[in-house]
A and B are shown apart, each in its own frame.
Chain A
């Protein structure tokens, strides 16, 4: 009798059960992994697919028409990986910048006391957030290819910007020797601004005298490099695109793929950012604004010192999340053939080499790292913005 009880209580013991469940889970996972990997190896051998990362140093053999770094078909597959990675980052950064600007404008417009503006912003949000991003990318790409003229009939803006089926051609700034000094002056200007601001803030804290710093800031950040630039005799010129034969030469080209992709990504992500900003501003208690007004702060001061700091605390975390979503969505370039990571490496190289496990593994790892970086950023921001207890 007694013995039975100990067995039953042993079986009913929470800790025993916990350990048993975990061991069973581990066994199941191990079994699934083992049999999966076993089949994988058998299948790979049966199909005579190569394994390992030797393919990375093989000749790629295909051309990529858009690359930030030098690339020819003679380069290796690893080079394609870098080209794709850089293009992904370029699309992500450009998309994020424009999405933030549009999102900010639409978010604030949504709360405007102007009925028309507010409704238009609302319409924009409801329209673009309810159309899948892939449709938007394909739609704009298709529209661009259909409506834009051939290179000979390009839209011409002041003989320097040309728009046609093959993309947008803009003058490219080409730096001459000595331009580095301008950059150094620019960095120096930013550093000096930080010190200058710190100085005036200290003065404000000690004496209560407020100094407007905006003029000094502009002078240091923009004026200083400009003076250096002029003193050195303008060490930079613009390389203008010009029509030679059937196509344009010189200048900087943005392909229709790139434009359709960044445009759609910014327009789509902006709707989410706008909603984040709107809810951030709405989350600030009305009493806060009233209190600021009661203290005698002007409208601008109230916005800058009271409303925005509190609104941003609510708005920034979802916005950063949207940055991550935008970066992940940039992989949809596969559908229109813009050579970012997923299209160039996860698509073309995969088709040529056929080592899906390695190639997709590397591609996923990149997105994993990007996502971890953004999570890290989010944690830092959250920590900085959390309400500091006294």
Chain B
């Protein structure tokens, strides 16, 4: 009886496995692809090395002398002159770092801002930990109301023996974050009300909500910011000295409310009519119907788009520079006008761009994640 011995398996041909196969399939699968790959490589060759040279290899990193474990490191901190013009001068950012983060906030008081940053980070961690906790909504509510109030008192001061810091001294990344978070928190309830108004059967309310939303969405934010800074004070008796930051916040809140309203309306429209009818059938009134049945569902499905809209708001906060607020972007020209660091705008721009990019990119990743988590179609 013949015994079959299994023979050793032959290896697949080299063209079908490993890096060669991958290269062939993904980069050189056809003549066109060969051309495209080479063109792309050439483009990378032209752009990336000079950029890296400017940012890293030729750049100056002399942040000054420091000692570590008894060893001395570094040289004398570079100045505008010793840096040269052909590559980045990072000691400039190192020295002006506080300006970019806090603006003109008094240096001896920045610990108050740091506490707010630390609180925000802590709350973020706690929020993730209690995600499956039964009473999490109470916790979130307390957080959304408590944190901004505590932050406001800490940053503005003037109470509990804290020295007052006027808003024109606020600046840098701190200001950007303040404007963005205040804008999001206050405009959200307004947006929900506008969305409900636009979906309402009451003609007058529907009319005004629609007009408001469509008008705000049709004009650029900058015109609304100008309106807020030139015309808004005129609407109040004697309100000539209207805080500049408050004006910007009013403009951004009113602007963002219209965009949130459209997002929430999209969520409301996605709720099947049966839900409305069922709520009516069990005798709920308008407020109960919306608060208990409709909005929880509508808001849940709009969360990814709400985050998307918040990202746009975060980008739009840079515009406050045009009406004279000292946000992070404004610090670029401010710091490069320093007599010791003339003409270092490019470093400032690169630093601000990278900071904003990190924020926005992580936010957009987060919204993508939410989109997958909340998606109800079973594509994935």
Contact = CB atoms under 8 A, between A and B. Distances in A.
In this complex, the member of A135, A342, A350, A372 whose beta carbon has the largest number of chain B beta carbons within 10 angstroms is: A135
Given A113-B33, A130-B360, A133-B315, A360 B329 contact: no
In this complex, the member of B233, B234, B239, B357 whose beta carbon has the largest number of chain A beta carbons within 10 angstroms is: B234
A126 interface: yes
A357 interface: yes
A189 B349 CA distance: 50
A283 to B, nearest CB: 12
Contacts of A126: 361, 364
Interface string A37-51: 001101110000000
B357 A130 contact: yes
Contact of B205 (A25, A356, A357, A368): A25
Interface residues of B, number: 54
A156 interface: no
Nearest to B323: A334
B227 interface: yes
Contacts, number: 146
A115 interface: yes
B107 interface: no
A114 B33 contact: yes
B230 A367 contact: no
Given A22-B202, A130-B360, A130-B364, A135 B353 contact: yes
A360 B230 contact: yes
Interface in A329-388: 329, 331-332, 334-335, 342, 346, 350, 356-357, 360, 363-364, 367-368, 371-372
Interface in A119-133: 120, 126-127, 129-133
Given A142-B345, A346-B226, A116 B41 contact: yes
Contacts of A120: 40, 43-44
A138 interface: yes
B46 to A, nearest CB: 13
A154 B356 CA distance: 34
- Main SS class of interface, B: helix
Contacts of A214: none
B356 A132 contact: yes
A261 B77 CA distance: 37
3 nearest A-B pairs in the assembled complex, by CB-CB distance: A115-B26, A371-B218, A356-B230
Given A138-B329, A328-B219, A342-B223, 17 more contacts: A39-B235, A42-B237, A116-B27, A117-B37, A120-B43, A129-B364, A131-B356, A135-B349, A135-B353, A138-B349, A146-B345, A329-B220, A332-B319, A334-B322, A357-B234, A371-B217, A371-B219
Interface of A: 18, 21-22, 25-26, 29, 36, 39-40, 42-44, 112-117, 120, 126-127, 129-135, 138-139, 142-143, 146, 328-329, 331-332, 334-335, 342, 346, 350, 356-357, 360, 363-364, 367-368, 371-372
